[in-house]
Chains A and B, each alone.
Chain A
C-alpha cells in the first residue's frame, strides 16, 4: 500500500455496538502515542456521529474529512487540525464521511492511500458502530483492527456479529473463483444445507473442494487477526471473559483474536468524559491510564495478555 517512508501503522477501532468506548479508546490511545513523541493522527470515521473532537475537548472544526473525500482539489493535509498536544493532529469527521453513496472498493483503497500518505507514525481510525461494508472494509484495510467490547451479552453478541461479518467480507475479497464465492454465500446463509456450522468448517470445505485456492485463502485469512479490548471491567471474572472470547473465536471462526487489554470501570472516566478532558492527558497516575498504556504496548508490539 503506497511507498512507506516511515514505518506507518493504521489502527482501526471498531466493534459492533455503540457506546462501548471506541472514541474513548481512540482519543486516549492517540494521546498516549503523541506523548511518547510519535506523530499521531486521529481520524473520526464515525458515521453521522462524529464526536472525536469532543472527546479531545476541542470545538467542532470547519474543515472535515468529507471535504477531502468530496472535493478533488482538497488535499488530506488541508483538513488536518493541530491539537493543543504536540505530535497529535485530528481529522474531524462529518455526517457524510464514509457515508458517500456506495463508494467503490477502489475508492476506499484511494482513501486508505491518502490516509497512508499522512506524515505520521500512527494513524488511528475511529470507525463508529455498525457492520456496514464501509466500516468493515476500513477495518480490514487497516494494519490492525481493534474491537472494543463490554462484558455484557448484547455487546459480546454484537462483537461476534462484527467479527463474523468482517470474516466473511474478507473471505469473499480473497476468494478468486466464482464457485468458491458461491459456497461462501451459502455458508453465510444460516440454514445452509452444507452442514457447515462454524466458519472454520467452511474454509476446511473449500480446501477439500479446491486445495489450491483453499490453501491460498487460508494464508490470507491468517492475516485477519482482530485485537480485543475489554472495557468497563468490574471483576476478575470479567477479565476472564476476554480470554473466553478469544478461545471461542479460535474454535468457532478458526481465527486468532489477540486480547490486548482491558479497562476497569472507574468513576474517574466518566468524570473526565464530562469535563471533556481525556484521562490520558494528565492522569498519568490513574489506573485507567496504566491500562491504556498496556493496551498500547500490546497493540504496537503484537503482544497479548496471558491468562493467570
Chain B
C-alpha cells in the first residue's frame, strides 16, 4: 500500500486545503481519511514524542482543531462531495481556496441539525427516537462546547423550526462562533456506551450502516443488532466484544471503554 505523489503544497497549515491538512490524496478512501485522522490525534496531543520539541501545547491544539475540521468534512461522503465540488470551482476560477472559506450547504438548515449529546443521552424513553427519522447524514458534525475561537467561519443559518430541540434553537440564536468538536466529544463519555451511543455517534458522523459494514467488514445485520442491542441474534460474547471494539474505533469512541460498557450490558441482559 503506497502513496506516490507529494501530498500537499508547501504552505502554512491554515492555507492548506482539507486534503493537505490531513495529508491524504484526493482519491483517499474513507479508511485512509480515518487513519490519517487517527495519526493526527496521536501526533498533536500533549507529551507526544513526535511533537514536543516542535510545537507548544497551544499549537498542538490549534493544529488538531484544524485537522479535525478537515476530517469532519471529508469523512462524510456528502459533505466531501460538496467540498470536492468547491475545490474544483475554486480551481476553475483561479481562486485560492484559503481566501474563500468552504461552507457546506446543509449547514444552512439548522432544523436538520442533529441533536447534541444531551439530546441523545440518556436514550429518550420513546419507542422510536426522533433521530432515527431525520436524515442527518448530510450534516457535518458540529457542537457547541466553546474551547478556542476557530479560524474557519461557521455559516449562520435561518431560524430553526419550533420542533427543533431547544439546544438547537438556542444555538441558532447565539451569535458566538460555534466551535466544532472531534467526533468522540459528541458523546457524554461519563455515561456507559450502549447500542444507542453507537448508533448516534455513527449518525453524527454521517456514516450509514452500509458504510460502516464496508469499512469494518462486519456484517450489516450484526451492526444493526449491535445498535438495537438485540443480543439474542448476535454471535458469542467474544465476537460481540470484538465488533464493539472495531466499531468504536471507527467512530472515534474509546474502544476499551466501549467494549467494557457494552459487554456489561450484554452480560447483565443475558443473565436476566
Contact = CB atoms under 8 A, between A and B. Distances in A.
B54 A160 contact: yes
A244 B43 contact: yes
B164 to A, nearest CB: 38
B50 A250 contact: no
Interface residues of A, number: 38
A246 B50 CA distance: 9
A303 B39 contact: no
Interface in B4-38: 4, 6-8, 10-13, 15, 23, 32, 35-36, 38
Interface string A134-160: 000000000000000001010011001
A248 B4 contact: no
Contact of B36 (A151, A156, A198, A307): A307
Contact of B51 (A151, A244, A308): A244
Given A201-B12, A308-B35, A303 B50 contact: no
A72 interface: no
A221 B9 CA distance: 11
Contact of A250 (B2, B23, B53, B55): B23
B49 A247 contact: no
Interface in A182-241: 197-198, 200-201, 203-204, 218, 221-222, 225, 240-241
Interface stretch (A41-49, A87-95, A252-260, A268-276): A252-260
Nearest to A240: B42
Nearest to A260: B2
The secondary-structure label for the interface of chain A is: helix
Contact of B49 (A153, A201, A221): A153
Interface string B223-244: 0000000000000000000000
B43 A247 contact: yes
B259 interface: no
Nearest to A298: B2
A2 interface: no
A244 B8 contact: no
A156 B10 contact: no
Given A203-B10, A306-B35, A245 B3 contact: no
B105 interface: no
Nearest to B10: A254
Contacts of B11: 200, 203-204, 254
A247 B50 contact: yes
B32 A306 contact: yes
B208 interface: no
B39 A243 contact: yes
A243 B23 CA distance: 11
A198 B51 CA distance: 13
Contacts of B7: 250, 256
A117 interface: no
Interface string A297-308: 010011111111
A156 B48 contact: no
A225 B48 CA distance: 23
B43 A248 contact: yes
Contact of A256 (B6, B35, B39, B43): B6
B12 A204 contact: yes
Contacts of B48: 244
A248 B23 contact: no
B74 to A, nearest CB: 15
Interface string B120-158: 000000000000000000000000000000000000000
Contact of A304 (B3, B10, B42, B54): B3
Given A200-B10, A247-B40, A306 B3 contact: yes
B55 A252 contact: yes
B39 A240 contact: yes
A26 B177 CA distance: 54
A307 B35 contact: yes
A221 B52 CA distance: 25
A225 B7 CA distance: 12
A291 interface: no
Contacts of A201: 12
A306 B53 CA distance: 24
Nearest to B51: A248
A222 B54 contact: no
Contacts of A251: 13, 55, 63
B1 interface: yes
A151 B50 CA distance: 9
Given A222-B6, A252-B55, A241 B49 contact: yes
B10 A241 contact: no
Given A156-B53, A160-B53, 4 more contacts: A157-B53, A251-B55, A252-B55, A254-B8
The 6 closest A-B pairs by CB, nearest first: A244-B50, A303-B2, A244-B43, A307-B35, A254-B10, A306-B1
Interface of A: 151, 153, 156-157, 160, 197-198, 200-201, 203-204, 218, 221-222, 225, 240-241, 243-248, 250-252, 254-256, 298, 301-308
23 contacts: A153-B53, A156-B53, A240-B39, A243-B43, A244-B39, A244-B49, A244-B50, A247-B23, A247-B40, A248-B55, A250-B23, A251-B63, A252-B55, A254-B11, A254-B12, A256-B6, A298-B2, A301-B2, A303-B3, A303-B4, A305-B2, A306-B1, A306-B35
